[in-house]
Chain A
Amino acid sequence: MKKQMTSLLLVICMVSCCLCGCSGAPGSSDSNELTVFNYSEYLDPEMIEQFTKETGIKIKYEEATTPEEMYTKYISGAISYDLLCTSDYMVKRLIDEGQAQEVDFASMENFSNIDPKYLKISESFDPGNKYSLPYFWGTVGILYNTKKVKGPIDSWDVLFNGDYKGQIIMQDSMRDSFMVALKYLGYSLNTQDENEIHEAAELLKKQKDDVESYLVDEARDEVVAENATMAVVYSGEAYLGHDFNPDLEYVVPKEGSNLWVDSWIVTKNCKNTENAKKFLDFLCRDDVAYANFEYIYYSTPNKAAVDMMDDDLRNNPAIVPTDDSIKDCEVYEAFDEKTTSLYSDLWKEIKSE
């Protein structure tokens, strides 16, 4: 009996030690601290240090690789994030679910650096630009090897006409692959029309013989290594590809394509919105925006940063797409449940055939 009592006491001691040692309820964050959630490799780490040096606000920085992963981690509530950077459709979902805070971005000193053109594009997922601030953006296009193609590449047609049989890499993603087919057929990439969707699926099925493989992250490397002639890639990847192999060029086909925007939102958990705004303002400052651009080489919506680029960069369509090349581009919108399941059923059919 005595023995049991001692062990019980010991257990109680241990538990209370644990609890006291790490006091502080979840969610209680230091007022001079911001918890920031971003894609991996999407912000120059030196800029975080500089921000802390300038303002005294500490940054707890957390990274994720996909919007879905971010959403799950955010919603689980294990960590209380103040600021979050994610992609267009996920921004919309978070706004719709009431997870974002309305912020008066216009009152920020460096907000004028953001080109109004991108605010207009953002309206498709954040009407009135009340919740989100564009951070980086880009397109989807064809990365190709200039030495191996016959004639100029300016249309999705090259992926479907059989000229490059077995030398094509498509994105292993339902939305991106359908986008290519829909745009080629001249439809909207957000179409919910069953006939148009079926037509696109037929085209993708027919194309399957010509496709070397469906890849995601490895698509760029396969073209760099010259295992394939062309691949459907994101514009950010294209610049790196060109860096590794100067024979590679990137084009946004004339039929139009997908345009994506990654934006910052302030979450409803954020207590100190002034600090959050200071951080966003800092990111909009020309030198900071340029440093971040040099770190990731995606297209920036910050016109002050674009002005700082040299001519080579500014004239590179993968870095600064021309207005003309993006005029037929669209931002992804969420589908209703029925359309989503139609798309994914057809995609499964295409992949399994």
Chain B
Amino acid sequence: MIEKTLGKIYIGLILVFMYTPILVLIALSFNDSRSRVVWGGFTLKWYRTLFDNSSIMSAFGTTAALAFVSAAVASLIGLFAAIGIYSMKKRSVKVMLFFTNIPLLNADIVTGIALMLWFVRFFPLGFVSVLTAHITFNIPYVILCILPKLETMDIRQFEAARDLGASTAYAFTKVILPDLLPGILAGFFMAVTMSMDDFVITYFTKGPGVNTLSTLIYGEIRKGIKPEMYALSSVLFLLVLIILIIANKTDTVKEN
């Protein structure tokens, strides 16, 4: 009995520590004062002005475009890389995984500065340079998500399809790809999250006038973060929550 209540308290504490900051943020998005320490009454005006604020909207657009395009490209490259690694000899696999793991563990600041130094030799920094950087750091995540799926996949199904006269491409899209799809999707969403989260690498590789949400917020720190940003963050949090609930629902339906 005591054990049970203690367990509940423990979990409760974890949830409080994880979610109070977000609740504070959501509360501030309804605050009718620009200051974060004064409560000026309830308002929805920040949600209205949010959509008129061109700098926030353009940063949001850049963030979304970066996240989805870089994740898509990284998924494609990662897919082929994973298949390549899967069909390698054991020693080569080890070498390849060693190299793909380095960017995962490497400090962002090192990756960021290195990419910046490399890019400026070839083209002016701008959207393309940030996109290239994001694709670069996303690839290892995709590979890591797809490789386990490849290892559990039964290659004999592919061979059977080939025996029964399917072309390589046909057998690939009809047999291998459906098997790998959960892994590819997991990798894709992992990449989207990583790209949206990133500040350091974006900061170093972005060109003038290119802003993502994270770099925009960083710039606002000097004079206080604008309440519109709280509103946008709340909307984003709600969106993710809805997606998660839907995903969980469909999962339980499938299991039943």
Question: Any chain A CB within 8 A of the CB of B37?
Answer: yes
The one of B36, B132, B219 in contact with A40, judged by C-beta atoms closer than 8 angstroms, is B219
Closest Cβ of chain B to A237, distance in Å, is 8
A41 touches B223 (CB 8 A): yes
A224 touches B218 (CB 8 A): no
Question: Any chain A CB within 8 A of the CB of B122?
Answer: yes
Q: Tell me, in angstroms, the Cα distance from A279 to B220 when the chains sit together.
A: 24
Contacts of A59 in B (CB 8 A): 209
Question: Any chain B CB within 8 A of the CB of A78?
Answer: yes
Q: Tell me, in angstroms, the Cα distance from A40 to B229 when the chains sit together.
A: 15
Closest Cβ of chain A to B24, distance in Å, is 14
Contacts of B37 in A (CB 8 A): 221-222, 224-225, 244
A245 touches B38 (CB 8 A): yes
- Residues 214-254 of chain B: 1 if any A CB is under 8 Å from the residue's CB, otherwise 0? 00001111111000000000000000000000000000000
Contacts of B54 in A (CB 8 A): 45
B220 touches A40 (CB 8 A): yes
Question: Any chain B CB within 8 A of the CB of A124?
Answer: no
Question: Any chain B CB within 8 A of the CB of A107?
Answer: no
Closest Cβ of chain A to B57, distance in Å, is 12
- Residues 203-244 of chain A: 1 if any B CB is under 8 Å from the residue's CB, otherwise 0? 000000000000001000110110000000000000010011
Closest Cβ of chain B to A3, distance in Å, is 12
Q: Which of B34, B208, B224 has the most CB of A within 10 A?
A: B208
Q: Tell me, in angstroms, the Cα distance from A62 to B204 when the chains sit together.
A: 12
Question: Any chain A CB within 8 A of the CB of B35?
Answer: yes
What is the total number of residues of chain A having a CB less than 8 Å from a CB of chain B?
41
Question: Any chain B CB within 8 A of the CB of A192?
Answer: no
Contacts of A25 in B (CB 8 A): 123
Question: Any chain A CB within 8 A of the CB of B116?
Answer: yes
Assess A244 versus B123: contact at CB under 8 Å? Given A40-B219, A60-B208, A79-B208: no
A62 touches B35 (CB 8 A): no
The one of A29, A60, A77, A224 in contact with B209, judged by C-beta atoms closer than 8 angstroms, is A60
The interface size bin for chain B is: 20 to 34
- Residues 196-224 of chain B: 1 if any A CB is under 8 Å from the residue's CB, otherwise 0? 00000000100111000000001111111
Question: Any chain B CB within 8 A of the CB of A105?
Answer: no
Contacts of B204 in A (CB 8 A): 78
Q: Tell me, in angstroms, the Cα distance from A65 to B216 when the chains sit together.
A: 11
Q: Which of B35, B119, B132, B207 has the most CB of A within 10 A?
A: B35
Residues 8-37 (chain A) with a chain B CB within 8 angstroms:
18-19, 21-29, 35-37
Q: Tell me, in angstroms, the Cα distance from A22 to B117 when the chains sit together.
A: 16
Contacts of A244 in B (CB 8 A): 33-35, 37-38
Question: Any chain A CB within 8 A of the CB of B124?
Answer: yes
Residue ID in chain B nearest A63 by CB atoms: B219
Residue ID in chain A nearest B219 by CB atoms: A40
The one of A41, A221, A225 in contact with B222, judged by C-beta atoms closer than 8 angstroms, is A41
User: What are 17 A-B interface contacts by the 8 Å CB criterion?
Assistant: A24-B123, A26-B120, A26-B122, A36-B208, A37-B208, A41-B219, A41-B222, A41-B223, A62-B208, A64-B219, A78-B117, A79-B207, A79-B208, A80-B124, A225-B38, A244-B38, A296-B223
A residues touching B (Cβ–Cβ < 8 Å)? 18-19, 21-29, 35-37, 39-41, 45, 59-65, 76-81, 217, 221-222, 224-225, 240, 243-245, 296
Please name the 7 residue pairs, one residue from A and one from B, whose CB atoms are nearest each other, closest first. A40-B219, A225-B37, A62-B208, A22-B123, A60-B208, A244-B35, A60-B209
Q: A64-B219, A224-B35 are in contact. List 7 more A-B contacts (CB 8 A).
A: A23-B123, A24-B124, A25-B123, A78-B204, A221-B37, A225-B37, A245-B38
